[in-house]
Amino acid sequence: MMKWVLFTPELYYLLMAGVFFWCSIQRHLNVRRLYVWAVVLSGVGLVVAVAAARCEGTLFFDSYRVDLFSQVFKIFLALGMFWVVVVCSELKGIDARRHAEFFFLLAVCTVAMMMLVSAVELLTIYIALELSSYSLYLLVPMRRRADEFVETGVKYFMIGSTASAFMIFGFSYLFGITGTTYVAEIMARLPGLFHEPAAVIGLVLALGGFFFKQALFPFHMWAPDVYQGAANQVTTYIATTSKIAAAAMVIRFIGFAGEGTEAFVMLLMVLSVVSMTFGNLVAIIQKDVKRLLAYSSIAHAGYMLVGILSMTPRGYASAVYYALAYLIMNFACFMVILKVADDGHNLQIKELAGLHKRSPLLAMTLMLGLFGLAGIPPTVGFTGKFFVFAAALEKGYLLLVIIAMINATISLYYYLIVIKAAYLLEPVREYGPVRVDRWTRSLSIVLVILMIYVGIFPDKFVLLAEAAAAALR
């Protein structure tokens, strides 16, 4: 097999980025035609990612691994970008002359995240991570009336740059103590070096950079402001596709650790518990739907870590399944936000009052998405939590699972507040009808079916997740 075939999805998205870059330098551009091209190209990108799923091999002196794990996450990333592009038919939150730049940065960021899920060497990870981060730094202040939200973009850049600096500092320690930059060799040698402070400091700083992308406590501080300050379409991309790449990176890195030391597992447990508890408790008092989902994402990063810290094939498989479930559930919620706040403003919970009358389909999609995030059966979120908790119980982490279940119960409170607004409250003023085009209607039906079907019949998806997790070794 030709080596370049292993790089097919990345090459395709690079080509797509080139097309949008060419569009961005044109004087006159038909935004409607640009949107159609974006849908077609991202749809073909999804097909290319699926077609390349069986590719296996290594590139660039074994620093880049193409295996089932990376290919599965590339399909998730391509699916996430396709969904985000489909709901960008009007892009009212972003100035029309920047639409081509918006799609260009989405394509570049997706390429970078595809590189990230295949990278198994520190410098390769760093370059891919920075490329995706800088694309997001540019997307966040792209919102119309940017002067009101430029502070958010600057804060995101400053905090992200600081996290990146600490991460590369940690990488230097890991290289210094182990003598290699390959993750598998580092994680194999680290257990015997934990008596050296440099090994602990290096691992903690490196993981801090990864957890920053995943918005795990205490590396979460950027998430609420960025979710609120970015255009709704950009927030949708960050909350779904970007989070999937971060989860893959954490799973890959910890997956090389083998059984792990007791202190390392204890550190991950503490981060998981604090992240779940903090995210859920602060989400209760939120009135802005995007901020609520930002704190919810912090809690879900903790749930996902429950499966990862089990450090067993079943635990990694449960985290892969949970990542898919989170992509579906979270996108369903953000799609409703995009359509209800069709002028691009930040949606408040009270504005959802009477949504079941204005658009029954969107109200049902939102309800199932939130039920899934809360872990209510028979949704995909319930099955995802079940697998994650089962993996932890298998390792004997009963107390951790009890804490996670208490947190899931707490989260049900604020999710129900949103559902109550959509179904039981009457609006205090007249809101306009929600326009649901045929693309949105079709996507809503697909998401509703997926949230139920993948939850009730998870067998094939679990087998795929187990096969992807097995490729980590």
**117-128: per-residue pLDDT in tens?**
998 899 999 999
Instruction: Please tell me the pTM assigned to this model.
Output: 0.92
Strands in 68-174 per DSSP E: none
**Is residue 56 within 8 Å of 120, Cβ to Cβ?**
no
- 3 state SS of 378: coil
Rounded CA separation 120/124 (Å): 7
Q: How far from 246 is each of 213, 242, 437, CA to CA, in Å?
A: 6, 6, 32
Question: Which of 107, 86, 9 has its CA nearest to residue 51?
Answer: 9
Residue 237 in domain: no
With a CB cutoff of 8 Å and minimum separation 6, the contacts of 433 are 358, 359
Residue 406 sits in which domain range? 261-472
Residue 182 is classified by DSSP as B
Note the pLDDT of residue 357. Answer: 86
Q: Is the pLDDT of residue 347 over 80?
A: yes
Span 157-170, mean pLDDT? 89
Q: Is the pLDDT of residue 265 over 80?
A: yes
Q: What are phi and psi of 58, to 5 degrees?
A: -125, 155
Q: Is the pLDDT of residue 26 over 70?
A: yes
Residue 10 in domain: no
Q: Kindly report which listed range (156-160, 341-345, 378-382) carries the lowest average pLDDT score.
A: 341-345
Q: Is the pLDDT of residue 63 over 90?
A: no
Residue 33 in domain: no
Rounded CA separation 166/360 (Å): 48
Q: Is the pLDDT of residue 434 over 60?
A: yes
Q: Kindly report which listed range (76-85, 259-268, 331-340) carries the lowest average pLDDT score.
A: 259-268
Note the pLDDT of residue 13. Answer: 93
Angle, to 10 degrees, between the axis of helix 360-374 and the axis of helix 398-423? Answer: 160
Span 20-33, mean pLDDT? 86
Span 39-43, mean pLDDT? 93
Residues in the chain: 473
**Is residue 443 within 8 Å of 370, Cβ to Cβ?**
no
Q: Is the pLDDT of residue 1 over 60?
A: no
Tokens of residue 245, six digits: 């790449």
Estimate to the nearest angstrom the gap between the alpha carbon of 336 and the chain centroid.
18
Q: What percent of the chain has a predicted confidence (pLDDT) above 70?
A: 97
Residue 68 in domain: no
Note the pLDDT of residue 214. Answer: 82
Give per-residue burial for 414-447: e unless 16+ CB within 10 Å, then b: bbbbbbebbbeeeeeeeeeebebeeebeebbeeb
Average pLDDT over the chain, rounded to an integer: 87
Q: Is the pLDDT of residue 268 over 90?
A: no
- pLDDT class of 258 with cuts at 50, 70, 90: low
Note the pLDDT of residue 203. Answer: 85
Tokens of residue 192, six digits: 């015997």
Residue 133 in domain: no
Residue 128 in domain: no
Span 238-248, mean pLDDT? 85
- pLDDT class of 108 with cuts at 50, 70, 90: very high
Note the pLDDT of residue 43. Answer: 93
Rounded CA separation 472/316 (Å): 9
Q: Hey, what amino acid is at 182?
A: Y
Residue 234 in domain: no
Q: Is the pLDDT of residue 324 over 80?
A: yes
With a CB cutoff of 8 Å and minimum separation 6, the contacts of 466 are 313, 314, 317
Span 311-340, mean pLDDT? 90
Rounded CA separation 364/119 (Å): 39
Q: Which residue has the tokens 């298998």?
A: 394
Domain total of the chain: 1
**Is residue 46 within 8 Å of 79, Cβ to Cβ?**
yes
**Is residue 326 within 8 Å of 76, Cβ to Cβ?**
no
Q: Kindly report which listed range (108-117, 250-259, 337-346, 403-412) carries the lowest average pLDDT score.
A: 250-259
Quote the Cα angle for 309-199-299, to 5°: 30
Tokens of residue 247, six digits: 């989860």
- pLDDT class of 45 with cuts at 50, 70, 90: very high
Instruction: Name the percent of the chain in helix, strand, coil, to the closest 5.
Output: 75, 5, 20
Tokens of residue 98, six digits: 């920047």
Note the pLDDT of residue 220. Answer: 82
**Is residue 290 within 8 Å of 227, Cβ to Cβ?**
yes
- 3 state SS of 327: helix
- Tell me the CA end-to-end span of the chain in Å, nearest whole number: 22
Note the pLDDT of residue 150. Answer: 77
Give per-residue burial for 53-82: e unless 16+ CB within 10 Å, then b: eebeeeeeeebbbbbbbbbbbbbbbbbbbb
Q: Is the pLDDT of residue 330 over 60?
A: yes
Residue 104 in domain: no
Note the pLDDT of residue 152. Answer: 82
**Is residue 454 within 8 Å of 383, Cβ to Cβ?**
yes
Note the pLDDT of residue 2. Answer: 55
Q: What percent of the chain has a predicted confidence (pLDDT) above 90?
A: 33
Note the pLDDT of residue 40. Answer: 94
